Each structure stands twice: as C-alpha cells, then as structure tokens.
Amino acid sequence: MRALVIDDSRTMRRIIVGVLRSLGFDTLEAGDGREALDVLESGIPVDLACIDWNMPVMNGLEFVLAVRENRAWRGLTLMMVTTESEHNQIVRALAAGAHEYVIKPFTPDAIRDKLQLLGLVELEESA
C-alpha cells in the first residue's frame, strides 16, 4: 500500500508519514496540491492521499476536486487531515469528494481507526 502525504508543513508530513509507515504503508510526500498532482500524473500507483486543506499554490479542497475529475484516479482514497473543523467545512470537503476526514490535533490511533473504517488497515482484536 502506498500513501501520498500532502501538507505544506514538513513537521506535519513527518508525523503523518511516521504513523503510516508504522501501519505498513510506503509513503510519498508533497508540499501542496500541485506537487501532489505531479506525483499522481507521473504514474506511480497511490492508494491513499492524506490531504491538508490550507496550502499555497493549490489547496486541499482544489486537489480533491481535481482528483475526482480524473477517471484514472478513481481508486484513490482521499482523506483530509486538517485544522478546518467547522461543520460546513467538513460538508464542503465531502461534497467535493473526500472519503474521510481527520481533524488536527490527532493521535496515531485516530489515523489507524479511520484507515480501518476505509478497509486500508486490517482490524486487530480489541481489548
């Protein structure tokens, strides 16, 4: 499984990459939506994109819209990871085509839980 982590903060990318790697993902990074589209357009297969909202050049919402317009990337799971936490913002992201949404601050468990919901990580026995 390969994930693309898209955030203009190197710190945040590093944190998310750390969580994803511990869950068994290979990872790629991009600092904004445009760079992320370049990665996808290069043809590397990507299963999951973790997307910040507020980024320069192309923000996360614009990236989601661009991905959903392209049939080639139909199988890509789109998960927002962002500080935008107002109800209407979340609705906007879902309407644009995001599949899931993690509000910052998050714990590693929160990411794992969401990826289990998406079927990208195997459920473990709880307790």
Partner 1 sequence: MSTAIDMSLFGGADPIFTIADEVFSAMIDGEPGLLSEWFGEAPAIADPMYAWVDVDGVAPGRVLLSTERETALQITRALLEMGPDEVVGDADFVDALGEVANVVGGNVKALVPDPGALTLPQVTHERPPTSPENLLHELALAWRGRLLVISLWSLP
Partner 2 sequence: MTLAPDSFSFVADLVRRRSAIQLEAGKEYLVESRLLPLARAAGTVDIDAYIRTMRASAAPAVLEAVVEALTTNETSWFRDAQPFATLTEHVVPELLAGRLGGGPLRIWSAACSTGQEPYSIAMTLADLVPGGRLKIHATDLNQQVLARARAGRYSQLEVNRGLPVTMLVKHFARIGVDWEVAAPLRAAVTFAQHNLLDVPPMGGPFDVVFLRNVLIYFDLATKRDVLRRVQRVVRPGGYLLLGAAETTIGIDDDWERVTVGRGSVYRLNVRRAA
For partner 1, the closer of residues 70 and 83 by Cβ is 83
Please report, as a single letter, which amino acid is at residue 115: L
Which of partner 2, partner 1, none sits in contact with 101, Cβ below 5 to 8 A by type?
A: partner 2
Q: Could you give the string, one character per residue 57-86, with x where binding to partner 1 holds by CB under 8 A and - elsewhere?
A: -------------------------xxxxx
Q: Is 107 in the site for partner 1 (CB under 8 A)?
A: yes
* Sequence-distant (≥ 6) Cβ neighbours of residue 19 within 8 angstroms: 108, 111, 112
Judge whether 68 and 40 are in contact, CB under 8 Å.
Answer: no
Site for partner 2 in 73-112 (CB under 8 A): 85-87, 90-91, 94, 98, 100-103, 105-107, 109-110
Nearest 5°: the CA angle 63, 29, 111 is 80
- What is the C-alpha separation between 127 and 124, in angstroms, rounded? 9
Q: Is 18 in the site for partner 1 (CB under 8 A)?
A: yes
Half-sphere exposure of 12 (CA within 13 A, CB side): 23
Q: Is 100 in the site for partner 1 (CB under 8 A)?
A: no
Q: Is 24 in the site for partner 1 (CB under 8 A)?
A: no
